[in-house]
Amino acid sequence: MKNRGSLHDLVVKWFFGITGNYDEYKRQVVGRISTNAFLACFIFMIFATAIAGMWGMRSPYEALVGLMLATAVFSLGIIAPYVMIASHRAHLTDQEVGQPSIGQVRRKIGWQALGLGVYFGVVTYCLAAGNTVMADGSNFFDALRLPSNIWHAVFGGIFFGLWMGLIRLFRLKKQS
């Protein structure tokens, strides 16, 4: 059985998109990126909580919604792009492939992109049906048959699969 490392290492490799060995250089870069992201999150948490606390004295519901939206925007709009860009600049995400096996790797990426697209489409299809049930109070199986849910799931799956395939193709680097 192959020794794949600890669960922590597997999660870090997955989260940062690290390919290949998780050596000491990559550990240092991940530590630096993580520290910067944590410090930004810590400062955001302090200020956002203080503002939401003062805002909550007048209207608690609006303060809660504002805090939730600010957290989502901060996490998805600032921290996630920072981690992606910093990982890319440090070449953590590069996948080096030899010239003879580049075609095989491209086919594998195509199948992975297809699988990711199908997975994303099915999940968004079920979530859209669940949202329809929660909003309208209708039956779940009736919501699954709505053409708008089917169309959005198919379009989202195709778009997501293509995008993930392109990202993985751009990460390929030929070995010299």
Q: Where are the domains of the chain?
A: 1-93, 96-176
**Average pLDDT of the chain to the nearest whole number:** 88
pLDDT digits (tens, 9 = 90+) for 60-107: 999 999 999 999 999 999 999 999 889 888 888 777 777 777 788 888
How do 172-174 and 95-97 pair as beta strands? parallel
Q: At what angle do helices 60-74 and 24-56 cross, to 10 degrees?
A: 160
Query: How far apart, in Å, are the Cα atoms of 167 and each of 84, 88, 113?
Result: 11, 11, 10
pLDDT digits (tens, 9 = 90+) for 113-135: 999 999 999 999 999 888 888 88
Contact by Cβ (8 Å): 106, 154: no
Task: Give the Cα separation of 134 and 148 in Å (integer).
Answer: 16
Task: Give the Cα separation of 150 and 122 in Å (integer).
Answer: 9
